[in-house]
Amino acid sequence: MIKRIRGVAAIGLLAATPVFGSSATISVTHDYNGARPAEIIAIPFSQVASVLPDARMYHLIVRDAKGRTLSSQITNYEHDHRGSQYDDLVFSYDFSPGEKHANFVIESVTSATPPEAPCVYARQVPERYDDIAWENDRIAHRMYGAALNSPAAAGERLRGSGIDVWAKRVPYTIVDRWYAKGHDQFHKDEEGEGLDLYSIGGSRGAGGTGIWDGMKLWTSDNYSTARILSNGPRRAAFKLTYAPWDSGALGKVSETKQFTIDCGRNFDSVESIFDFEGEEALVGVGITAHPQATGFPAPVLTKDPEGHWMSLWEQNSHGGLGVAVVLANDTSSAGYAYEAGATSKDNGNHLLLVKARRGSPIRYFTGAGWSRSGQFDSRAAWESYVKHFYERTQKPLTIKVTAAP
């Protein structure tokens, strides 16, 4: 009986062993001197397919120079196309300080790779007035859908296109778990997983946008449509559209916003495309200006002298929270501004300004960090993270894919 069990186990092991086909080499270089933890390496799938014609989703393995298998994903934003017209091969790697070059191997295998536990997640939440919520292993966010600004929402009705922050203590996904508890309950940290500790109302929250006319920020209604493009395990992405809204002298403005969420970092990538009359408009990327919490230090706003990023650190009974926006290296700053709340009950907005051209994307990163997450124990630690993240964006990776000899 013992021999028979061992034989069955051996057959199962043999069946699970991947059979390798062709392979390719990935060479990654950069000029940044510091560490690059959880650096995202994204390679257009067309480049992979050019050297690995037999490459297929769920049939690729990525290894580092030590032969260790790295978690990876092939994104596919157009699920109903015909053929292997995928988007990117995505994985991450921890570059040590001074490590400016790394090699990886992509191996094509005949048996399908098993699914991995996701460290990113995004979904529309129709059971909560069409919220859209997303997270990675470090932080979580949500935005409001059109149903929240409709008669169906009754006393909860709210107009706001800002970005909310949910602070996490745990690396696993919590969006579905928290919604299942109920709206009031996920504003409490009763299970030790974290909580929704951020108040935005109609303000910009952590990186919402609007049109700045020099005195007033003209903002959209809640998003009108949402489309999930990718949902892990390593990268999630979704696209939101906003119906045209009035922006004063500029007339009607509409916006399409795409978010990309990756594992291991506190910043998400955002691409916004505006449509308006004329060729150019001034866009404000905002952070909510909360009043000082009773018994705690005043919030501290830190601005990059060159206009590339800004960070706000605030404290209350839930600890310290840092929120920051960082412009991508292909998006130029037009300075800073501040918009006071319309009434004494409204939050104001700190604004990082960008000149946007009609139909051309502006790109930026938005993120947050909580003192009780185990990641940042102080304002200094958070601001150091923001500065180093910005510096990394200015030293992008150079990636080369070649067929293995």
- Are residues 99 and 143 both part of a single domain? no
Task: Quick: pLDDT tens for 365-398.
Answer: 999 999 999 999 999 999 999 999 999 999 999 9
| pLDDT-based confidence at residue 324 (cuts at 50, 70, 90) | very high
Select from 13, 376, 332, 17 the least CA-distant residue to 167: 376
- Are residues 175 and 316 both part of a single domain? yes
| Helix, strand, coil tally for the chain in percent (to 5) | 15, 45, 40
On whether residue 267 sits in a domain, the answer given is yes
The helix/strand/coil state of 259 is strand
Predicted local confidence at residue 203, as pLDDT: 96
Pairwise CA distance, residues 379 & 28, whole Å:
33
Average confidence (pLDDT) over 234-247: 98
Structural domains in the chain (count): 2
Tokens for 84?
């292997």
Task: Quick: pLDDT tens for 278-307.
Answer: 999 999 999 999 999 999 999 999 999 999
What is the SS3 string spanning 45-69? HHHHHHHCCCCCCCCEEEECCCCCE
Domain of residue 84, residue span: 20-114+396-403
Element spanning 143, H or E: strand 139-143
Segment among 8-12, 102-106, 334-338 with least mean pLDDT: 8-12
Average confidence (pLDDT) over 311-330: 97
DSSP 205: B
- Are residues 84 and 230 both part of a single domain? no
- Are residues 192 and 283 both part of a single domain? yes
Pairwise CA distance, residues 38 & 86, whole Å:
23
- Are residues 103 and 145 both part of a single domain? no
- For residue 16, pLDDT over 80 is answered with no
Beta strands in 194-305 (DSSP E): 194-196, 206-212, 217-218, 225-231, 235-246, 252-262, 267-276, 280-289, 300-303
Predicted local confidence at residue 6, as pLDDT: 35
| pLDDT-based confidence at residue 50 (cuts at 50, 70, 90) | very high
Q: What is the mean pLDDT of the chain?
A: 93
- Are residues 229 and 292 both part of a single domain? yes
- For residue 269, pLDDT over 70 is answered with yes
Question: Helices (H) and strands (E) in the chain — how many of each?
Answer: 4, 26
**Residue tagged 């909510």 (tokens):** 288
Task: Quick: pLDDT tens for 91-117.
Answer: 999 999 999 999 999 999 999 999 999
On whether residue 9 sits in a domain, the answer given is no
Q: Are 105 and 25 in contact (CB under 8 A)?
A: yes
- For residue 7, pLDDT over 70 is answered with no
Apex CA 100: angle with CA 99 and CA 102, to 5°? Answer: 85
- For residue 359, pLDDT over 80 is answered with yes
Pairwise CA distance, residues 45 & 132, whole Å:
28
On whether residue 12 sits in a domain, the answer given is no
Segment among 51-65, 207-221, 336-350 with least mean pLDDT: 336-350
Tokens for 148?
């929240």
Q: Among the residues of 258-362, which ranges form H helices?
A: none
| pLDDT-based confidence at residue 404 (cuts at 50, 70, 90) | confident
- Are residues 35 and 90 both part of a single domain? yes
Q: Are 248 and 269 in contact (CB under 8 A)?
A: no
**Residue 115: exposed, middle, or buried by beta-carbon count in 10 A (0-12, 13-18, 19+)?**
exposed
- Are residues 84 and 163 both part of a single domain? no
Of residues 9 and 79, more confidence is placed in 79
Find the CATH number of the domain harbouring 72. 2.60.40.1180
- Are residues 154 and 82 both part of a single domain? no
On whether residue 1 sits in a domain, the answer given is no
Task: Quick: pLDDT tens for 68-83.
Answer: 999 999 999 988 877 6
DSSP letter string over 386-405?
A: HHHHHHHHTS--EEEEEE--
Phi-psi region of 169 (alpha: psi -120 to 50; beta: other; left: phi over 0): alpha
